[in-house]
Amino acid sequence: MTYKDAAAIRLLVLDVDGVMTDGRLYFGPRGEALKVFHVRDGLGLQQLDAAGIGVAVISGRRSRMVAVRCRELGVEHVIQGARDKLAALTRLRSRLKVSAAECACVGDDATDVPLMGAVKLAFAVADAHREALRAAHVVTSLPGGSGAVREVCDYLLDARRLAARTRRTRLTVAPSRAKRRAR
Protein backbone atom coordinates (compact mmCIF):
# COMPACT_ATOMS: atom_id res chain seq x y z
CA MET A 1 0.00 0.00 0.00
CA THR A 2 1.44 3.34 -1.03
CA TYR A 3 0.77 6.95 -0.12
CA LYS A 4 -0.56 7.33 -3.66
CA ASP A 5 -3.25 4.74 -2.84
CA ALA A 6 -4.06 6.51 0.42
CA ALA A 7 -4.22 9.89 -1.34
CA ALA A 8 -7.04 8.59 -3.55
CA ILE A 9 -9.32 7.83 -0.58
CA ARG A 10 -12.60 9.76 -0.69
CA LEU A 11 -14.50 7.95 2.07
CA LEU A 12 -13.36 6.71 5.49
CA VAL A 13 -15.66 4.18 7.14
CA LEU A 14 -15.43 3.68 10.90
CA ASP A 15 -16.69 1.07 13.30
CA VAL A 16 -17.66 2.52 16.69
CA ASP A 17 -17.09 0.13 19.59
CA GLY A 18 -13.38 -0.57 19.84
CA VAL A 19 -12.44 2.02 17.19
CA MET A 20 -14.05 5.33 18.13
CA THR A 21 -14.31 4.07 21.72
CA ASP A 22 -12.17 1.73 23.80
CA GLY A 23 -14.77 -1.00 23.32
CA ARG A 24 -16.04 -0.98 26.87
CA LEU A 25 -19.70 -0.27 27.61
CA TYR A 26 -20.65 1.51 30.81
CA PHE A 27 -24.21 0.92 31.97
CA GLY A 28 -25.91 3.54 34.10
CA PRO A 29 -28.55 2.93 36.76
CA ARG A 30 -31.36 3.09 34.18
CA GLY A 31 -29.61 0.65 31.85
CA GLU A 32 -28.30 3.22 29.38
CA ALA A 33 -24.96 2.40 27.81
CA LEU A 34 -22.38 5.16 28.03
CA LYS A 35 -19.49 5.55 25.60
CA VAL A 36 -16.34 7.65 25.81
CA PHE A 37 -14.95 9.32 22.68
CA HIS A 38 -11.51 10.87 22.31
CA VAL A 39 -11.51 14.58 21.45
CA ARG A 40 -8.47 14.27 19.15
CA ASP A 41 -10.34 11.74 17.02
CA GLY A 42 -13.11 14.28 16.57
CA LEU A 43 -10.74 16.99 15.40
CA GLY A 44 -9.15 14.57 12.93
CA LEU A 45 -12.57 13.73 11.47
CA GLN A 46 -13.37 17.42 11.08
CA GLN A 47 -10.04 17.91 9.29
CA LEU A 48 -10.89 15.08 6.89
CA ASP A 49 -14.22 16.72 6.15
CA ALA A 50 -12.48 20.04 5.47
CA ALA A 51 -10.13 18.23 3.06
CA GLY A 52 -13.06 16.73 1.15
CA ILE A 53 -12.77 13.20 2.54
CA GLY A 54 -16.16 11.89 3.61
CA VAL A 55 -16.68 9.99 6.84
CA ALA A 56 -19.20 7.26 7.51
CA VAL A 57 -19.94 5.24 10.62
CA ILE A 58 -21.22 1.68 10.35
CA SER A 59 -21.96 0.00 13.65
CA GLY A 60 -23.61 -3.25 14.61
CA ARG A 61 -25.07 -1.63 17.73
CA ARG A 62 -27.52 1.23 18.15
CA SER A 63 -26.62 4.06 20.49
CA ARG A 64 -28.07 7.50 21.06
CA MET A 65 -24.58 8.64 22.14
CA VAL A 66 -23.16 7.67 18.74
CA ALA A 67 -25.87 9.67 16.97
CA VAL A 68 -25.17 12.70 19.17
CA ARG A 69 -21.38 12.49 18.72
CA CYS A 70 -21.63 12.06 14.95
CA ARG A 71 -24.07 14.96 14.65
CA GLU A 72 -21.68 17.10 16.73
CA LEU A 73 -18.81 16.22 14.34
CA GLY A 74 -20.85 16.70 11.18
CA VAL A 75 -20.69 13.01 10.19
CA GLU A 76 -23.61 12.69 7.77
CA HIS A 77 -23.49 8.97 7.05
CA VAL A 78 -24.33 7.05 10.22
CA ILE A 79 -25.62 3.50 9.94
CA GLN A 80 -26.41 1.83 13.26
CA GLY A 81 -27.74 -1.63 13.98
CA ALA A 82 -26.16 -3.02 10.81
CA ARG A 83 -26.35 -6.80 10.89
CA ASP A 84 -24.40 -6.98 7.64
CA LYS A 85 -21.80 -4.21 7.56
CA LEU A 86 -20.60 -5.14 4.08
CA ALA A 87 -24.10 -4.82 2.62
CA ALA A 88 -24.47 -1.47 4.40
CA LEU A 89 -21.19 -0.27 2.86
CA THR A 90 -22.22 -1.48 -0.58
CA ARG A 91 -25.49 0.48 -0.39
CA LEU A 92 -23.67 3.57 0.91
CA ARG A 93 -21.02 3.40 -1.83
CA SER A 94 -23.74 3.11 -4.46
CA ARG A 95 -25.64 6.08 -3.05
CA LEU A 96 -22.47 8.22 -2.84
CA LYS A 97 -21.05 6.96 -6.15
CA VAL A 98 -17.75 6.02 -4.51
CA SER A 99 -15.75 3.01 -5.69
CA ALA A 100 -14.13 0.47 -3.37
CA ALA A 101 -10.75 1.81 -4.52
CA GLU A 102 -11.70 5.18 -3.02
CA CYS A 103 -12.65 3.76 0.39
CA ALA A 104 -10.74 3.08 3.59
CA CYS A 105 -12.04 1.63 6.82
CA VAL A 106 -10.99 1.16 10.41
CA GLY A 107 -11.96 -1.98 12.30
CA ASP A 108 -11.12 -3.86 15.46
CA ASP A 109 -12.82 -7.25 15.39
CA ALA A 110 -13.96 -10.18 13.26
CA THR A 111 -17.24 -8.47 12.35
CA ASP A 112 -15.21 -5.77 10.58
CA VAL A 113 -13.10 -8.15 8.47
CA PRO A 114 -15.57 -8.32 5.53
CA LEU A 115 -15.53 -4.50 5.37
CA MET A 116 -11.75 -4.46 5.59
CA GLY A 117 -11.51 -6.83 2.64
CA ALA A 118 -13.85 -4.73 0.51
CA VAL A 119 -11.91 -1.44 0.57
CA LYS A 120 -8.61 -0.23 -0.87
CA LEU A 121 -7.07 0.60 2.50
CA ALA A 122 -7.92 -1.24 5.73
CA PHE A 123 -6.72 -0.07 9.13
CA ALA A 124 -6.89 -1.95 12.41
CA VAL A 125 -6.46 -0.30 15.79
CA ALA A 126 -3.47 -1.43 17.85
CA ASP A 127 -5.55 -3.51 20.28
CA ALA A 128 -7.69 -5.17 17.60
CA HIS A 129 -8.54 -8.86 17.54
CA ARG A 130 -6.04 -10.98 15.61
CA GLU A 131 -8.48 -11.49 12.70
CA ALA A 132 -8.75 -7.73 12.16
CA LEU A 133 -4.99 -7.33 12.53
CA ARG A 134 -4.45 -9.93 9.79
CA ALA A 135 -6.94 -8.19 7.48
CA ALA A 136 -5.35 -4.76 7.92
CA HIS A 137 -2.96 -3.04 5.55
CA VAL A 138 -1.98 -0.64 8.33
CA VAL A 139 -2.13 -1.05 12.13
CA THR A 140 -2.28 2.07 14.26
CA SER A 141 0.15 2.54 17.13
CA LEU A 142 -2.69 3.66 19.41
CA PRO A 143 -5.59 1.55 20.67
CA GLY A 144 -9.23 2.22 19.88
CA GLY A 145 -10.76 5.14 21.74
CA SER A 146 -7.31 6.56 22.52
CA GLY A 147 -6.51 8.55 19.40
CA ALA A 148 -6.31 5.74 16.82
CA VAL A 149 -8.88 7.43 14.58
CA ARG A 150 -6.85 10.65 14.63
CA GLU A 151 -3.80 8.62 13.63
CA VAL A 152 -5.72 7.30 10.60
CA CYS A 153 -6.94 10.81 9.73
CA ASP A 154 -3.37 12.12 9.89
CA TYR A 155 -2.19 9.24 7.68
CA LEU A 156 -4.77 10.07 5.00
CA LEU A 157 -4.13 13.81 5.19
CA ASP A 158 -0.35 13.30 5.05
CA ALA A 159 -0.81 11.10 1.99
CA ARG A 160 -2.80 13.83 0.27
CA ARG A 161 -0.16 16.45 1.09
CA LEU A 162 2.65 14.20 -0.13
CA ALA A 163 0.82 13.41 -3.36
CA ALA A 164 0.14 17.11 -3.96
CA ARG A 165 3.79 18.00 -3.28
CA THR A 166 4.93 15.27 -5.68
CA ARG A 167 2.60 16.60 -8.40
CA ARG A 168 3.90 20.15 -7.90
CA THR A 169 7.50 18.93 -8.03
CA ARG A 170 6.86 17.10 -11.29
CA LEU A 171 5.26 20.18 -12.78
CA THR A 172 8.17 22.43 -11.85
CA VAL A 173 10.92 19.94 -12.69
CA ALA A 174 9.56 18.68 -15.97
CA PRO A 175 9.98 21.94 -17.96
CA SER A 176 13.64 22.30 -16.97
CA ARG A 177 14.33 18.72 -18.11
CA ALA A 178 12.69 19.48 -21.42
CA LYS A 179 14.90 22.53 -21.90
CA ARG A 180 18.05 20.50 -21.19
CA ARG A 181 17.06 17.88 -23.72
CA ALA A 182 16.31 20.52 -26.37
CA ARG A 183 19.79 22.05 -26.16
Confidence (pLDDT) at 180: 46
CATH number at residue 165: 3.40.50.1000
Q: What is the C-alpha to C-alpha distance for residues 16 and 105, in angstroms, rounded to an integer?
A: 11
Q: How many CB atoms lie within 10 A of CB 76?
A: 13
Give every residue of the chain whose pLDDT is below 70, as ranges: 1-2, 167-183
Q: How many domains does the chain have?
A: 1
What is the predicted pLDDT for the residue at 3?
72
Q: How far apart are CA 34 and CA 162, in angstroms?
A: 39
Domain that holds residue 89: 3-182
Entry pTM: 0.88
Report which of 156, 159, 137, 151 is spatially closest to residue 38, judged by C-alpha positions. Answer: 151
CA–CA dist 140, 151 (Å, integer)? 7
Q: Given this model, what pLDDT does residue 168 score? A: 61
